[in-house]
Amino acid sequence: MEVIGVGVIGAGGIAQVHLQTLSNMSGVRILAVTDVLPGRAKEIAERWGVPHAFEDYRELLQLDEIQAVHVCTYNQAHRAPSVDALHAGKHVMVEKPMAATLEDATEMVRAAKQTGKMLMCAIKSRYSANVVAAKRLISEGTLGEIYYAETVLDRRRGIPGGTFVRQASAGLGAVADLGVYCLDTALYLMGHPTPQTVSGITTNVIGKTHQPPAIGWKMEAR
């Protein structure tokens, strides 16, 4: 069996989920991990038995035996490592949301098209059993023409903190953190209709301790 060499850029909380999953996959070997915080990459590499640890992700990209990278940095730091990895000949799995700005996302997609390498955003809901079943029913015409969709999501893990609530690192609010799942699911199931209007409101009703306001939104599409 061919073994795929993988590198992980960013060694924070979400990276541990990626490392756990990758370590349980056959045909995959985690070869390197990077993080800008001094000592963190080394600590995480030792914890997961990863042979290489760097503070500069560009050192990871120089390893020819790595074919793919997982970008697990905070939102505002998705663009540079993703674009650099693609141009270094690596396939890229980037954490959601794909980017904090349209400009960053566009550059990432452009790099993927230029290099012919795969760029995938880690939106796990696309592959959940209920979404797969719904897509099949819609594709088979069982539900007829879809003219309206509504999605709801809540967070049961408490009020987020750290990089999730700082503008400099997150760049976006609740819509990007949680709403990206709703938005992707609705657009995917409806065949990606073209948005006609977009509106939104901000509220701060439940959590009032050291957090940004939650964001509500509505989109009409045809």
Pick from 77, 95, 122: which residue ends a domain?
Answer: 122
CA dihedral angle for residue 64, residue 29, residue 180, residue 157, rounded to 10 degrees: -140
| Confidence (pLDDT) at 43 | 97
Q: Point out the domain boundary residue: 91, 122, 153.
A: 122
What pLDDT digit, counting tens, does each position of 20-40 carry? 999 999 999 999 999 999 999
Domain boundary pick from 122, 138, 167: 122
At residue 73 the predicted structure's pLDDT band, cuts being 50, 70 and 90, is: very high
- Same domain for 154 and 109, yes or no, is no
pLDDT at 133: 96
DSSP annotation of 180: H
Confidence of residue 204 (pLDDT cuts 50, 70, 90): low
CATH number at residue 90: 3.40.50.720
Q: Which CATH number do you get for residue 150? A: 3.30.360.10
Q: What residues contact residue 85 under an 8 Å CB cut-off, 6+ apart?
A: 9, 57, 61, 69, 71, 92
32 and 87 share a domain?
Answer: yes
- Which structural domain range is residue 87 located in? 4-122
